[in-house]
Amino acid sequence: MLDKHQGARLANLWDDGKAAGMTEPEKLLYRSNLLGSDKRITNYGGGNTSAEVMEKDPLTGEIVEVLWVKGSGGDVGTIKMDGFSTLYMDKLRALKGIYRGVEFEDEMVGYLPHCTFNLNPRAASIDTPLHAYVPKPHVDHMHPDAIIAIAASKNSRELTSKIFGDEIGWLPWKRPGYELGLWLEKFCQENPDARGVVLESHGLFTWGDTAKEAYETTIEIINRAIAWFETENTGPAFGGRSKPVLAAADRAAIAKKLMPVIRGLISAGESKVGHFDDSQAVLDFVTSTSLEPLAALGTSCPDHFLRTKIRPLVVDFDPAQPDVGNTLAGLPEAIATYRADYAAYYERCKRADSPAMRDPNAVVYLVPGVGMITFAKDKATARISAEFYVNAINVMRGASGVSTYVGLPEQEAFDIEYWLLEEAKLQRMPKPKSLAGRIALVTGGAGGIGKATANRLMQEGACVVLADIDETALEAAQTELSTRYGKDFVRSVNMNVTSEAAVESGFGDALLAFGGLDILVSNAGLATSAAVEDTTLALWNKNMDILATGYFLVSREAFRIFRNQKAGGNVVFVASKNGLAASPGASAYCTAKAAEIHLARCLALEGASAQIRVNVVNPDAVLRGSKIWTGEWKEQRAAAYKMDVDELEAHYRERSMLKLSVFPEDIAEAIYFLASDMSAKSTGNIVNVDAGNAQSFTR
Ligand SMILES: [Zn+2]
């Protein structure tokens, strides 16, 4: 990713060769994707692009003017053709006749669907009138850091004219909506030669007669702002450094300690997932003299604000005398104070028809000398919130370097956060999945049962850390799952479960990746077979190490995290039918599996008072996809039954009471049940998934 600091200019990426054969809508898509590909031009989901295109009306056959504009909820960087809404321009113009004034501007959103061209199902966004009423065919609206730095400066009007002269105008802060569309139109009529306009506390509008001209104007104007900051903003960032930066390993170590504790304190209403960012932009800010005063001002651009809340929480931590114990002890009070402040802000600003107060917890946690931690309902949202706050940091850096930075006025911020149109958008969101916001670690995660389990949990919205010793299989599993569910949801760690150090560091990586842990699936295993007189001590110890000690080590680590996090916890052991049923020629394996089951019972007893549940799934003969059921073990079992290895699956099926084969997905289903709230009142249980085997009936 490109460095987001001022310095590097934006490149003009327009390629005439590529654009030559494109239709106007295709050129709009091309331009949008180019602009959205750089976070310095606009943040994720922020900004809009549009083009007015002459099209044949499907009803009358006449050629009519159609506005193509990014639809509601889209992102210009990743938008595809179906992300644009299309509206009749003459109908959009006719809306002016029924507009009742600024107090009623929200009702205009309800009229937009009446303007739809060609039954396009993509909902039009609130920004549509802003694009429709600029009397130019191609319009870009971006949220560039360098422009918002001007827009969020106390003297932004003066700075705009100083940098751009008459080419770029300036409009005072106005919440995006119908009225702002009319303001833009008036501005263009009064300033026919202007190429764009800076919106105070918000962003940039630019336009052109062709798609290429609009694109190049946008890039040129942002580059001029970047260049201006290069010459004007030459002092130390944020007034200079007042705190040391800890070394990378120490920063990570502190974050691992803070994240689960914060998570436990803010996850009462919904489970949250964390993200840690210690990029240079963040470190410059969290070590500066201006950290506290600037953080208290909150963000400026409404997009930044919606994603990062009214203001971040600055964690009380002194990197000059690092004492994380003190910080941890102070967190409950710091978070309670933040919540009380948020509730007071809600009470101060609420209106008669405001929606009820939402989650009062902070999204952004700034740790001096360490970095930034963000928490949200899922990993993507937490990561994107961090990206937004980095945009806000860049804005504050620019504005405070050349002027006085001004955040959005509190009432304006509130009116956007609790905007009824925003509330309606939230209400339309799909219901969260059953494991949304939950974090699971699966040992043996690259194998048959492990991967099927990760898949099942991710299907339900969980984030999963795959732990395995097989690097190649681990990489393949991570690629497969991230392709299916998105990169944000899965991480992998190399973990030998018999190594105390490896277990500790693997769980640490999981904490840094997602901010906590809710579910441990202990599944890593092996199987051996030998008559007792032929069982070497090494073979005996190997079974004990991986199956008994390995399960102990990962459980101990999970318990430590659960107790710090104070939000309950869930452990599922994948044991075996052989943990209950004795089997000839496999005493080491059977005994170690029995140890697992008894360990689970002990842990269920110990964990109950902390709402930590521990349960066991007992599979039998899950051959497909298994790494255990390859090579030696398979041959040994086949030899024991005097049959060919290919006949084993049928053999086990016929041996079962239900005459069914057991697959990894069957085990994963039972694990999901025990890991989810469906089994909230079960602990210390064993679920057999073995197609029926009287020997392993629990008693
Ligand atoms: Zn905007």
CA of 202 to the centre of ligand 1 (A): 6
Lowest-confidence pick of 63-77, 383-397, 587-601, 623-637: 623-637
pLDDT at position 2 is 38
CA–CA separation, 299 and 413 (whole Å): 9
What is residue 115's DSSP assignment? G
Average pLDDT over residues 149-166: 96
Average pLDDT, stretch 126-151? Answer: 95
Could you tell me the distance, in angstroms and rounded to a whole number, from the CA of residue 199 to the centre of ligand 1?
Answer: 9
Q: Do β-strands 63-70 and 48-56 pair in parallel, antiparallel, or remain unpaired?
A: antiparallel
* Cα 102 to averaged position of ligand 1 atoms, centre (Å): 19
Q: Residues 361, 257: contact at Cβ < 8 Å?
A: no
Tell me the per-residue pLDDT of 282-335, one tens digit each, with 9 for 90 and over: 999 999 999 999 999 888 877 788 889 889 999 999 999 989 999 999 999 999
* pLDDT the model gives residue 5: 45
Note if 389 is an active site residue. Answer: no
On average, the pLDDT of the chain sits at 93
pLDDT at 636: 77
Which H or E run includes 412?
A: helix 410-417
Question: Cα–Cα distance between 557 and 520 in angstroms, integer?
Answer: 10
**Residue 4 pLDDT exceeds 50:** no
Catalytic residue among 589, 641, 652, 672: 589
Cα of 141 from ligand 1 centre, angstroms: 7
Confidence of residue 1 (pLDDT cuts 50, 70, 90): very low
Q: Which amino acid is at 503?
A: V
Confidence band of 630 (pLDDT split at 50, 70, 90): low
Phi/psi region, residue 74 (left: phi>0; alpha: psi -120 to 50; beta: rest), is: beta
Residues 620, 577 contacting (CB under 8 angstroms): yes
Report pTM: 0.92
Give residue 412 CA to ligand 1 midpoint distance, Å. 14
Residues around the ion ligand 1 (C-beta < 5 A): 203
Q: Are 576 and 593 in contact (CB under 8 A)?
A: yes
b/e for 402-439, b at 16 or more Cβ within 10 A?
bbebbbbeeebbbbbbbbeebbeeeeeeeeeebbbbbb
